[in-house]
């Protein structure tokens, strides 16, 4: 059920099991049949921890979405609310509880995720329903195992909260999550970091460690190094269009909580005799993780290399099916039959991915896609970043999607270390006239987080950074990559370069560049109890946990996986992030556009 968590270097299933155990314990606390009322936001993250079957085993008979009014009727003994500690949700819960049938009282419980909140309880008290709850508990869900080498906090707006709203709650949860991780996988002896938030998280961790100095875990450290990276150290990478297979799926269709929803037309079952059957209208929902052999193989490839991989796979599979003709003896036939389910799964997986690849190809071969990619690459290589781009102008004139425009304008600003005031004002005016004045707030937000800015008197240092860190590689090899730049067909993500340099030859070699990037860089060491010092076998790799505060893209993950798999890299990476993002979802989270309310 969670086989994808076993395959990495670190067994992340331990973390999942710990989370499941807590959940079971809570559910058993409310004895008897129960109905769960979900804060809809939580269903996704919970899906990564426990499927419905687990809930069912613990007598969960009904599930509802939290809505104002009455809870739909259900013959259960308990009502359990699974909610985030948000005041507006408390008001809904209060309404739900107040309209419960007084004659047939049911036990009501509330489970706060990830932390209990006095403020919320206070609100429930004000509403006069606090005493109706039999259990008020918290379910600590900070880092959720997402794949064999990937952890996510699934905290949608953490970048916005940290950089726009100065609300560091998510950093607190990140620190807590890391402490929890260390409790299961041992103290991480080395901590590196870059950026304000990274510094903040490291400080909190060190302080928490002091506070729990007593409960030193006697576990051999699994991780050698922790690297904390602020998203605002590398604002450029998420803005660029990802060109790996998984990255493109996310860019085009969006992956949420490990699932993607695809247009159904391409997936219509072609069964004989049912030729005239209607096409399905529901979007096709697929789970994407490394448990699927084929997906694990192609997800991180540059999309241009996916076609070849798929056709190779197709040949292998059909060859395997051909084997049946060679099966002569009963034993051979039996063996063939025993492999059938696996082969059939492989075949359906191949069919799915071929369809997805076709869908993507329709888009990547379009002129629009090509033009916009060309402009992106020009910006990244520093071509004409200081004047108004005709392409962007034309896109605005044709009223292309706003987010596309914002991504490009922000990218130009980042690659030029700010735009000339005239250029910036021109873009802003164009955007406001075309998409509506209400977007003025969004633009202000982008300026506040530094994605858009007027050029200061300071020199544009992006070219220096680009050259020192080799962010642009001509002739990136997409088929058989030899450098991480293949994930963006030329651009090597800055964040991953920093990670790579840290492992070898070390950050000291790039002091100058580090100073140009925002926020402090630092190194901390954590004492590991004597006797738990790892003795590395010759040739054994180091394990580094890279934590992206503010989100990580699939392309960056692919680049880190590439580094892990590189021969003689010497380091394997496990990735953690507040959220998996792409340019679109990221910009969207920073938007602030009031709804029109006029009649």
Partner 1 sequence: MAFVTANWNPLGDAFYRKIELYEMGWNLKDGLRDCLVAAAPYGGPIGEFCFITLLRKIVSEYSFWKSGVVKQLGWTVSDDLLCVQEDGTVLVYDLLGGFKRHFSMGNEVSQSQVLETKIFHSPYGTGVAILTGALRFTLATNIDDIKLRRLPEVPGLQGAPSCWAVLTQDRQSKVLVANGSHLFVLDNTACTPVTPPGLSPQASSIVHMCVSFSYKYLALLTDSGHVWMGTSNLKEKLSEVDTKIKAPPKQMAWCRRPKSQQPSAVVMWDGLLLVVGECKETIQYHLDDDSILVPELDGVRIISGTHHELLQEVPGACEEIFKIASMAPGALLLEAHKEYEKESQKADEYLREIKEQSLLSEAVRQCVEAAGHEHEPETQKTLLRAASFGKCFLSNFPPEQFVSMCRDLRVLNAVRDYTVGIPLSHTQFKQMTIQVLIDRLVYRKLYPLAIEVCRYLKTPEYQGVSRVLKYWACYKVCVCVYLFTPLKKKNYILIIFVQPYCMPSCMLVYTVVMYLKNELNRGDFFMMLRNQPVALSLYKQFCKHQEQDTLKDLFNQDDDHEELGNFYVKASYKEQRLEARIAHLQSAVDEYYKAKNEFSAKTTEDEMRLLRFQRKLEEEKGEQLVGFSLHDTMTTLLSVGLHKHAEQLYKDFRVPDKRFWWLRLKALAEKEDWEELEKFSKSKKSPIGYLPFVEVCIKHHNKYEARKYVSKVTLEQKVKAHLAVGDVEGAAEAAIERRNESEIGTVLSRCSATTDHLLVERLNRAKATVAKK
Q: Indicate whether 396 belongs to the interface with partner 1 (CB under 8 A).
A: yes
Indicate which single residue of 430, 478, 556, 572 sits in contact with partner 1 (rule: CB under 8 A): 430
Q: Give the nearest distance from C-beta 390 to partner 1 in angstroms.
A: 9
From candidates 343, 440, 532, 591, binder to partner 1 by CB under 8 A: 440
**Residue 384: which region, alpha, beta or left (left: phi > 0; alpha: psi -120 to 50)?**
left
Q: What angle do CA 127, 133, 134 make, to 5 degrees?
A: 165
d(CA 410, CA 553): 17
User: How many whole angstroms separate alpha carbon 537 and alpha carbon 149?
Assistant: 22
Give whichever of 179 and 516 is closer to partner 1, judged by the CB atom: 179
CB of 544 to partner 1, least distance (A): 26
Nearest CA among 297, 290, 293, 286 for reference residue 250: 286
Tokens of 230: 């602020």
> Which residue of 441, 506, 512, 529 would you call a contact of partner 1, by CB under 8 A?
441
Three-state SS at 147:
strand
Which residue among 109, 428, 466, 521 contacts partner 1 (CB under 8 A)?
428
Q: Give CA–CA dist 55/10, Å, rounded.
A: 27
β-pairing, 225-230 vs 190-194, is parallel
- Report whether 483 contacts 496 (CB < 8 A): no
Which is closer to partner 1, CB of 31 or CB of 433? 433
When binding is defined by CB under 8 A, the residue of 83, 97, 141, 204 that contacts partner 1 is: 204
Does 456 bind partner 1 (CB under 8 A)? Our answer is no
| Tokens read off for 204 | 């909190």
Q: Determine, following the binding rule CB under 8 A, whether residue 530 of this chain makes contact with partner 1.
A: no
Using CA atoms, how far residue 119 sits from 88, 113, 122, 359, in Å, is 11, 14, 5, 48
Nearer to partner 1, 117 or 354 (CB): 117
40, 278, 475, 596: residue in contact with partner 1 (rule CB under 8 A): 596
Of 28-36, 253-261, 292-300, 429-437, which segment contacts partner 1 by CB under 8 A?
429-437
Q: Does 475 bind partner 1 (CB under 8 A)?
A: no
* Cα–Cα distance, 472 to 483 (Å, whole number): 11
Asked if 433 is part of the footprint of partner 1 (rule: CB under 8 A), the reply reads yes
Site for partner 1 in 66-125 (CB under 8 A): 85, 87-88, 115-119, 122
**Complex with partner 1: residue 279 or 598, whichever CB lies closer:** 598
Name residues contacting partner 1, limited to 208-247 (CB under 8 A).
208, 210-215
**What is the closest distance, in whole angstroms, from the C-beta atom of residue 166 to partner 1 in the complex?**
4
The secondary structure of 464-478 as a DSSP string is HHHHHTT-B-TT--S
State the distance between the two ends of the chain, measured CA to CA, in whole angstroms.
51
3-state secondary structure (DSSP) of residue 195: coil
Provide the binding-site residues for partner 1, judged by CB under 8 A.
85, 87-88, 115-119, 122, 165-169, 172, 204, 207-208, 210-215, 393-394, 396-399, 425, 428-430, 432-438, 440-441, 444, 594-599
């Amino acid at each position: 059920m969670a086989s994808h968590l076993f395959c990495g270097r670190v067994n992340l299933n331990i973390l999942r099991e710990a989370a499941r155990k807590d959940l079971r314990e809570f559910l058993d606390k409310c004895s008897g049949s129960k109905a769960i009322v979900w804060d809809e936001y939580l269903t996704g993250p919970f899906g990564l921890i426990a499927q419905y079957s687990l809930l069912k085993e613990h007598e969960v008979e009904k599930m509802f979405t939290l809505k104002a009014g009455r809870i739909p009727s259900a013959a259960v003994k308990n009502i359990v609310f699974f909610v985030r500690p948000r005041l507006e949700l408390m008001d809904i819960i209060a309404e739900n509880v107040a309209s419960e049938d007084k004659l047939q009282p049911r036990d009501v419980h509330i489970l706060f995720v990830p932390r209990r909140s006095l403020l919320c309880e206070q609100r429930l008290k004000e509403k006069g329903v606090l005493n109706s709850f039999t259990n008020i508990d918290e379910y600590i869900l900070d880092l959720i195992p997402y794949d064999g080498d990937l952890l996510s906090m699934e905290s949608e707006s953490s970048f916005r909260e940290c950089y726009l709203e100065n609300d560091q709650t998510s950093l607190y949860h990140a620190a807590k999550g890391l402490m929890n991780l260390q409790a299961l996988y041992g103290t991480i002896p080395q901590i590196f970091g870059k950026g304000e938030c990274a510094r903040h998280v490291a400080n909190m961790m060190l302080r928490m460690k002091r506070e729990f100095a007593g409960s030193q875990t006697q576990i051999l450290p699994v991780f050698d190094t922790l690297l904390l990276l602020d998203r605002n150290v590398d604002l450029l990478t998420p803005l660029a269009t990802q060109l790996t297979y998984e990255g493109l799926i996310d860019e085009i269709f969006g992956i949420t909580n490990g699932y993607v929803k695809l247009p159904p037309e391409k997936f219509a079952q072609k069964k004989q005799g049912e030729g005239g059957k209607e096409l399905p209208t529901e979007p096709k929902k697929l789970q994407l993780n490394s448990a699927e052999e084929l997906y694990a193989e192609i997800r991180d490839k540059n999309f241009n290399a996916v076609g070849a991989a798929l056709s190779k796979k197709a040949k292998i599979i059909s060859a395997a099916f051909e084997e049946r003709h060679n099966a002569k003896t009963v034993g051979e036939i039996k063996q063939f039959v025993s492999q059938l389910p696996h082969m059939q799964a492989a075949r359906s997986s191949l069919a799915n991915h071929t369809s997805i690849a076709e869908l993507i190809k329709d888009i990547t071969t379009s002129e629009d896609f090509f033009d916009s990619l060309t402009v992106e690459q020009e910006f990244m290589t520093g071509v004409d970043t200081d004047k108004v781009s005709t392409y962007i102008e034309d896109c605005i004139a044709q009223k292309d999607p706003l987010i596309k425009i914002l991504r490009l304008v922000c990218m130009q600003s980042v690659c030029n270390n700010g735009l000339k005031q005239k250029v910036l004002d021109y873009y802003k005016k164009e955007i406001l006239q075309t998409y509506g004045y209400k977007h003025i707030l969004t633009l202000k937000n982008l300026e506040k987080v530094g994605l858009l800015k007027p050029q200061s008197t300071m020199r544009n240092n992006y070219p220096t950074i680009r050259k020192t860190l080799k962010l642009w590689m001509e002739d990136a090899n997409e088929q058989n990559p030899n450098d991480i730049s293949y994930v963006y067909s030329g651009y090597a993500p800055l964040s991953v370069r920093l990670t790579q340099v840290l492992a070898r030859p070390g950050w000291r070699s790039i002091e100058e560049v580090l100073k140009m990037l925002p926020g402090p860089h630092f190194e901390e060491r954590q004492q590991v109890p004597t006797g738990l010092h790892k003795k590395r076998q010759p040739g054994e790799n180091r394990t580094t946990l890279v934590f992206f505060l503010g989100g990580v893209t699939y392309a960056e993950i692919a680049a880190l996986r590439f580094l892990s798999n590189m021969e003689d890299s010497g380091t394997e990476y496990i990735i953690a992030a507040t959220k998996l993002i792409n340019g679109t979802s990221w910009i969207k989270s920073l938007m602030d556009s009031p709804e029109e309310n006029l009649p």
